[in-house]
Structure 1
Amino acid sequence: MPAAAPTVNPQQTGRWPRRLGLSLMLLLVCAALAAVAYRYAEDAAIDRLRLSGAQRLDTYAAGLEHLLSKYDFLPGTFELNKDVIALLRQPGDEALRRDVNIYLERVNRLAGSTSIYIVNLKGVTQAASNWRAPDSYVGDYIAFRPYIREALRGMPGGFYGVGTTRGEPGYYFARGIYHEGRMLGVATVKVNIESLEASWAEAGGKALLTDAHGVVFLSSVPEWKYRTLAPLTPAARQELEQSRQYFSHALTPLGLREVRALDARARIVAGPPPATGPMLSQSRGLVTRNWQMVYLSDLAPARASARAAALLTVLSEALAVMLVLYARQRHRLGRQRQRAREDLQRAYDQLEHLVADRTASLEQITRELRDENAVRRQAEEQLRKAQSELVQAGKMAVLGQLSAGITHELNQPLTALRTMADNARVLIERGRHADASANLTTISQLVERMGQLTGQLRQFARKSDTRPSAVPVADAVTAALFLVERRIAQERVGFRMATHPRDLYALCDSNRLQQVLVNLFGNALDAMEMAGSHPRQLAVEAGGAGARVLISVTDSGPGIPEDVRAHLFEPFFTTKPQGKGLGLGLAISEQIVRESGGRLRAESLPEGGARFIIDLPRAE
């Protein structure tokens, strides 16, 4: 008898395809969730890297600008040196060239710069701080350099490049040197900024600085220096070769390849050695110098975090499946959920701690910038106070020189007051009241004159608020003359004053203008006295010239020699005997006139004598 065939349950047969389909669908959902978790964790890690990179870019940019700003003012100071001006006007004077070389050498050593040199209008170096070296810049033709060309066109030059003589890189500051409104040459200061690379390398990450053509000239990775972010165009390469900005460097492409763009300032790139994987590239433009700073962050930690997140997701999915399969183990399921919440809380606490650290760092940078601004404002205020005290000291020096005449002016009325008071008492006792009344009238007039003198001295000695106003020129000249009129009378000096028109007003401070005039009157009287001039004449003329007011003080003294005229307005320079002056009068006067928007100049007359001209803005 044959065996019976096995029976098949139709319900069980249809269940397996359904289970297989659900399993496949579950696997697909789990894979999709793992991919989403990976992408989310990677984006979150990249966002943290972007925040950190942006802060570093701001810090590096601020450090670079701070380093360069310390030297920005230096080229403009050389036009104040008389020897530099003289050398540019007399290039054949070798003794003068040696003095300027020594002066530049000393300033370069004190400032901590790489080199300083002076170039004439033809682009030839006239003096340099490295004049003792065999490869000195003196005599070099450098007019092809962009910073020299810009400075010769009247614009301050700023330029980073590699030196053509020594091959040393540095940043060049260039400013025109002007004298009496005319350009004579260019002053250039070279500063080494390579020290920033070491600080970038110590901080971790990879930082680099590029110029407008994309050439890397500073980098925390030495192998990337003097490479380009992209191949140079023929026009850019020709421009760099003509200016010799990077001298003999080949400027080959760096080989950074973009993998994914995040936004205008951030992207994922694959870099050349020593980079071993993809990096986050962030950039920040330095608009004032047309540079771009780039910071590269390694993405390996971010991807490791993303893989961990994906793995955690897979584990969570597996756990969820197990929880569904083992529904009866509810108590164990509750404990697993509690652990998951604790993990999430720790991750949240870590995130809060990271945000707090980044916030504290930003607040520290803000405080440092605020403190630096406060120190700078305090220094400016101290400078203004020092200038005001110097002007006030000049007034006190003038009053000291006038003290003998002032004492005599006061002693005469005081003696007359005593005599007339005694006479008035006797006349009243004798009943001669009319004569006593006449004496009292005279006493009142003498007291009024003494009041005018002390009032004028008090007005002259008070501190000025330096706010410009419309000052009557004739009144200012009369007030200044009041302080020296006794000396003019004693030394029998002829005085002449002319003002055209009479209602002429200058835009300045009245008290400071009087101080300048008293200084000029005193210098003129001293010059005529020391020279023994006969006859002695002092003339003041004031007139309008368009929008300007010209006030000239002329004497009949010996005039001003050519070698003295170049030093007239230098502090502590004087031709008077020892004890007759400190040499501050003309320096202070020139500063006062310049701060009022004017100019003080001196000239010798062909017939003898000197003339000082005050040029001020005219006021209605």
Structure 2
Amino acid sequence: MQSVRYRLVLAICLIPALLYVVIFQGGALATRSYMNEASLQASSALRLAVSALSGHLSRYEPLPALIADHDGIKDLVAHPNDNSLREAANLYLKEINTLLESSDIYVMTMDGSTIAASNYEEPTSFVGQNFSYRPYFQEAAKGNQSRFYALGTTSLKRGYYFASPIFVENNITGVIVFKVDIDSIETSWRGGEYKIFVSDPEGIIFMTGSPEWLYSSILPLNAERLQRTQASRRYAEAVLKPLPIKRDSLEEHQLMTISTAAGREYLVLSQYMPEADWTVNVLMETASVRAQARTTIVAVVLFLCLAGLALAIFLQRRARLEERMRMQLEARNELERRVEERTADLALVNQRIEEEIAERRLTEQELRKTQADLIQAGKLAGLGQMSAALSHELNQPLAAAKTYADSAAMLIDLERVGEARDNVRRISGLIDRMASISRHLRNFARKPNEKLRPVALDAAMADTLEIVAARLKAADADLEIDLSDTPMVKAGSVRLQQVLVNIITNAADAVEGLADRRIHVSAEHLDSKVILTIRDHGPGVPAAIAERIFDPFFTTKGVGKGLGLGLSISYNIVKDFGGSLSVTNHAEGGAVFRIELEAATVAQEAAE
């Protein structure tokens, strides 16, 4: 009995020491373990955020250099006071900006003055503004590709800037700048499990899913940092303020407590993006991590207490073996039940963590597969568009050649050799025309290399009639032409014929089977422009499709009767000529296609 009491006293003395070790040392171990798991989860979110930012910016990085090589842009920086060049550049930049879904595109001379911009029509237009103080301009003016992020001083919109020098005869004559909107990525960070923000080298937060942190600094705002920031006017007139934080660490893990967030503690993971000179930070609350650690410690302490109780019962069993046997059995069963419950809870938590990791890995695999599918789809779309366009442009000359060939055979049978020879000559001309079309056909999103020259409208119309004569006859259409006293236009002969063939053929399709099958072609000279009008007496263009009529592969014809490429190709050809193509409905019925081209000057005609 004395031995039992001695052991009981010894056990009671050892219990506090054991609890101290479990609570403090075990608590630190459990916290470190759960913190490692939380760090793995947060690192996945950090990789996804960095990947999204890098992918968004890499789409636009090569574009400034490509547009800087545009002839219109080079001509503008060489002659910045030419209003016509400036107007053309403004329209071109606006169209490219809309197509690429960027924020702004603008061109600056070497003194930093903006001479053309995609937002030239807006109240916050950059035209006339001077941005020579921006680092992206200073770097590009030295001949380098540059990048910069800032709050716009004119638009007051944040963005990422790509700048490229404009070379003319190996001399830097200007700078072109792309501004990319980053609000869409920032919006996706709001309301998530993690708090994400991006800071600059001075520690100022300029992208965050928590708006109250915007333009706050996680580093001390000393005079040197403020001077560097103000020199580049990176944040315009925005008020910079320090973010009240307290930093701490748990072994290799960095911790941060933010006073404005109700004193919450966060696990911080950061990754520097050298190409953008950003630091992406992911914050994860540690409250759940510490709660898990406390739960584990409570479970262990409870287990030890129960084990101590079992030991005490065991030590007293010898003295009261018979009367305590039943109590020992009940206590043991209760202990096993509680241990099983705690073990099951821990197993469930581990299973959920493993499932979440597996789900994140599957998401990354699906993202890589989607990217590969998009690249392959883009290749197939480009190949399909080129082959369809070539087929569409050659069908009409082939149909005309077939008609002449059949006619020539009949004339030979009738021994009208002279007329048959003339048909053969026409077939040869059509074959030459098809060869010329195949040489000049390019993707209509790019500017062709064909040199524009003076072209006589009556000669182009005469060649066009050779191609469309069979279609007009089949539709029983009456073509009325009035091109008297019209000067020559600045265009490409073969491609102008392509435009006329496409529009007149569409007009024949529109009037076929109607009572009034007239098609009017007329031209007038207005200042330096020649307006060519083609009107039919068909049903006209419905308002619902007027905005889409020039889109590639858009057609209202039945299956197998059209590819929807004719008007799209014609629109881009006329645009390459420096003109415009539009369609309206006539007040008395029918569609009116209006082609506006530049009139060829006397000097140009003489040079040709």
TM-score when normalising by structure 2? 0.61
- Closer, same or farther: CA 515–401 of 1 in aligned 2, 3 Å: farther
1:296 deviation in Å? 1.1
1:275 deviation in Å? 4.6
- Closer, same or farther: CA 96–44 of 1 in aligned 2, 3 Å: same
- Closer, same or farther: CA 119–366 of 1 in aligned 2, 3 Å: same
Partner SS for 2:147: strand
The equivalent residue for 1:92 is 81
The equivalent residue for 1:56 is 45
- Closer, same or farther: CA 375–337 of 1 in aligned 2, 3 Å: same
- Closer, same or farther: CA 343–177 of 1 in aligned 2, 3 Å: same
The one-letter amino acid of 1:150's match is E
- Closer, same or farther: CA 192–363 of 1 in aligned 2, 3 Å: same
The equivalent residue for 1:215 is 204
- Closer, same or farther: CA 517–69 of 1 in aligned 2, 3 Å: closer
1:257 aligned residue (225, 246, 270): 246
1: CA distance between counterparts of 2:195 and 2:439? Answer: 60
The equivalent residue for 1:386 is 385
The equivalent residue for 2:347 is 348
The equivalent residue for 1:555 is none
2: CA distance between counterparts of 1:181 and 1:388? Answer: 37
1: CA distance between counterparts of 2:499 and 2:377? Answer: 37
- Closer, same or farther: CA 55–22 of 1 in aligned 2, 3 Å: same
1:219 deviation in Å? 1.6
* Larger Cα-atom Rg: 1
1:385 deviation in Å? 4.5
1: CA distance between counterparts of 2:348 and 2:124? Answer: 62
2:126 aligned residue (133, 137, 147): 137
Paired residues of 2:107 and 2:174 also in contact (CA < 8 A): yes
| Cα-to-partner distance string for 1:74-101 (whole Å, 9 max, x where unaligned) | 5456457665444333322334434543
- Closer, same or farther: CA 396–106 of 1 in aligned 2, 3 Å: closer
Q: Which runs of 5+ in 1 are unaligned?
A: 1-10, 417-482, 488-511, 532-560, 591-604, 611-620
1:217 deviation in Å? 0.9
1:194-593 alignment, distance < 5 Å: 194-231=183-220, 237-249=226-238, 251-260=240-249, 262-263=251-252, 266-327=253-314, 328=325, 329-332=327-330, 333-387=332-386, 390=389, 516=439, 564=490
The one-letter amino acid of 1:331's match is L
| Cα-to-partner distance string for 1:174-215 (whole Å, 9 max, x where unaligned) | 334456776553332323323433332211332110123332
2: CA distance between counterparts of 1:579 and 1:272? Answer: 73
| Cα-to-partner distance string for 1:230-280 (whole Å, 9 max, x where unaligned) | 2367665444332211223454543443311543xx412233322513221
Partner SS for 1:170: strand
2: CA distance between counterparts of 1:212 and 1:302? Answer: 30
The one-letter amino acid of 1:282's match is L
- Closer, same or farther: CA 516–116 of 1 in aligned 2, 3 Å: closer
Paired residues of 1:79 and 1:179 also in contact (CA < 8 A): no
2: CA distance between counterparts of 1:131 and 1:273? Answer: 42
| Cα-to-partner distance string for 1:122-164 (whole Å, 9 max, x where unaligned) | 3210122333445432111112212223333444333210112
1:344 deviation in Å? 0.7
- Closer, same or farther: CA 83–579 of 1 in aligned 2, 3 Å: farther
- Give yes or no for the alignment of 1:44 onto 2:33: yes
Number of residue pairs aligned between Structure 1 and Structure 2? 466
The equivalent residue for 2:421 is none
1:38-187 alignment, distance < 5 Å: 38-72=27-61, 75=64, 78-79=67-68, 83-105=72-94, 107-108=96-97, 111-177=100-166, 184-187=173-176
Paired residues of 2:32 and 2:250 also in contact (CA < 8 A): no
Paired residues of 2:139 and 2:146 also in contact (CA < 8 A): yes
The one-letter amino acid of 2:205's match is V
Paired residues of 1:262 and 1:268 also in contact (CA < 8 A): no
Partner SS for 1:213: coil
Paired residues of 1:37 and 1:306 also in contact (CA < 8 A): no
2:178 aligned residue (189, 205, 210): 189
Partner SS for 2:248: strand
1:407 deviation in Å? 9.9
Partner SS for 1:326: helix
2: CA distance between counterparts of 1:188 and 1:366? Answer: 35
2: CA distance between counterparts of 1:162 and 1:217? Answer: 9
Partner SS for 1:164: coil
Q: Which runs of 5+ in 2 are unaligned?
A: 315-324, 416-427, 443-448, 461-486, 506-565, 577-602
2: CA distance between counterparts of 1:69 and 1:517? Answer: 32
1:375 deviation in Å? 1.7
Paired residues of 2:113 and 2:130 also in contact (CA < 8 A): yes
Partner SS for 2:161: strand
Identity rate, percent: 22
1: CA distance between counterparts of 2:346 and 2:72? Answer: 69
1:16 deviation in Å? 8.4
2: CA distance between counterparts of 1:187 and 1:247? Answer: 21
1:607-618 alignment, distance < 5 Å: none
Higher mean displacement: 245-254 or 230-239:
230-239
| Cα-to-partner distance string for 1:391-420 (whole Å, 9 max, x where unaligned) | 67777888889889999999999999xxxx
